[in-house]
């Protein structure tokens, strides 16, 4: 007689498959919180020699896709990356950089170049000289406010530039997306600008996912937690039920370990206690609702399970250092919450 499934031994293969499914589920859940706001895209056509500079934009990300030709990416620290047709670059920290035809070329800042609207949030720049009517290089780039939601701390852990080639094995689903982008850029069909903008957002999400899964050999903080089934269950529960004031014991039960083991492991991996993490996630969501969705503070307090607006305001101020009513008056760069992946955050 076959044993009951509950009593079947858990083999290493079963454990790996369950871990993969759990990790994938959590990463998918967190990616739902990712937002690209204030996106401005431009299609740039150049001659054989060109140099374009991009300024430092904290809280933003840059996205480049080479459709035709070649270019050299020079990052803030002087690192050089050779790019060819089909190459894609994602710069999650928004650091200054240049795209050049050759490292010896001088460059102009992108904002000093004239552009013509091609569609909603998309413009075109043509720097080809009159003697060179056919562009040597065609690229598509975007700059956007990069909001990772509950994963916001990952931005600081990601490299300054993630370069993806068209045949990159760790991003298999990205290949058809890049191919579609090249087709839209080169064809210029009706509605291509809006389609490009959406494809770029999908590509950015796939790059973040691929980097979480494969891009960091020395996984630390939230990245390591995403790969740890003992912590992933608790983190998934926090993100799925943000209106709940989670206790350490309840989160430990989600992870099927003792309270003390869970609390110690969570803090050693994430860098802060589990309840602090849960509260920061709640306040990130609250900030999003207040600033971007224009939801009233009393409604936000109700949605997040607080008994009163006053109780919510006190909790918000403990995490952020200022009350929720001050959110809309503060510059965007000053609205951040202390990183949930960095040891040393206040408890």
d(CA 135, CA 330): 43
The residue among 122, 109, 131, 10 whose CA lies nearest residue 51 is: 109
Specify whether domain 221-334 bears CATH 3.30.300.100.
no
Q: What angle do CA 201, 206, 211 make, to 5 degrees?
A: 130
The pLDDT tens digits of the residues spanning 229-260 come to 778 888 888 877 888 899 999 999 998 899 99
Asked whether the beta carbons of 132 and 47 are under 8 A apart, the reply is yes
The residue among 207, 194, 206 whose CA lies nearest residue 39 is: 194
- β-pairing verdict for 108-109 and 51-54: parallel
Q: If pLDDT is split at 50, 70 and 90, which confidence band does 17 have?
A: very low
Higher-confidence residue: 238 or 21?
Answer: 238
Q: If pLDDT is split at 50, 70 and 90, which confidence band does 2 have?
A: very low
Residue 12 in tokens? 């290493």
The pLDDT tens digits of the residues spanning 290-347 come to 887 789 999 999 999 999 999 999 999 998 889 998 877 765 545 554 444 443 343 3
pTM: 0.65
CA distance readout (Å), 228 to 37, 216, 225: 31, 14, 5
CATH 2.60.120.10 maps onto the chain at 35-214
Q: If pLDDT is split at 50, 70 and 90, which confidence band does 75 have?
A: very high
Asked whether the beta carbons of 281 and 150 are under 8 A apart, the reply is yes
Give the CA-trace dihedral at 91, 93, 96, 99, to 10 degrees: 0
Higher-confidence residue: 115 or 218?
Answer: 115
CATH 1.10.10.60 maps onto the chain at 221-334
pLDDT at 38: 66
Sign of the CA dihedral running 176, 177, 182, 183: positive
Would you give the distance in Å from CA 121 to the centre of its chain?
Answer: 20
Q: May I ask the CATH class of domain 35-214?
A: mainly beta
């Amino acid at each position: 007689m076959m044993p009951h499934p509950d009593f079947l031994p858990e083999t290493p293969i079963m454990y790996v498959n369950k871990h993969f499914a759990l990790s994938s589920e959590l990463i998918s859940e967190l990616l739902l919180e990712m937002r690209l706001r204030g996106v401005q895209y431009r299609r740039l056509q150049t001659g054989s020699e060109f140099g374009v500079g991009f300024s430092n934009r904290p809280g933003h990300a840059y996205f480049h896709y080479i459709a035709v030709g070649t270019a050299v990416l020079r990052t803030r620290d002087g690192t050089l990356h050779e790019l060819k047709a089909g190459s894609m670059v994602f710069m999650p920290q928004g650091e200054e950089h240049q795209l050049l035809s050759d490292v010896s070329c001088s460059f102009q800042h992108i904002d000093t170049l004239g552009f013509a609207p091609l569609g909603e949030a998309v413009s075109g720049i043509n720097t080809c000289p009159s003697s060179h009517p056919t562009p040597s290089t065609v690229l598509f780039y975007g700059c956007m406010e990069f909001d990772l939601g509950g994963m916001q701390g990952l931005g600081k852990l990601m490299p300054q530039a993630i370069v993806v080639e068209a045949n990159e094995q760790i991003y298999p689903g990205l290949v058809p997306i890049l191919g579609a982008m090249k087709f839209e850029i080169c064809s210029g069909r009706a509605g291509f600008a809006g389609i490009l903008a959406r494809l770029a957002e999908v590509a950015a999400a796939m790059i973040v996912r691929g980097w979480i899964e494969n891009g960091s050999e020395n996984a630390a903080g939230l990245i390591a937690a995403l790969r740890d089934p003992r912590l992933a269950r608790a983190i998934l529960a926090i993100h799925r039920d943000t209106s709940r004031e989670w206790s350490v014991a309840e989160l430990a039960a989600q992870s099927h370990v003792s309270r003390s083991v869970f609390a110690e492991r969570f803090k050693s991996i994430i860098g802060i206690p589990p309840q602090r993490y849960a509260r920061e996630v709640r306040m990130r969501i609250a900030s999003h609702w207040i600033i971007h969705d224009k939801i009233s503070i009393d409604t936000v307090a109700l949605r997040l399970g607080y008994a009163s607006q006053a109780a919510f305001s006190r909790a918000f101020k403990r995490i952020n250092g200022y009350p929720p009513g001050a959110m809309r008056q503060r510059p965007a760069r000053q609205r951040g919450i202390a990183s949930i992946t960095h040891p040393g955050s206040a408890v």
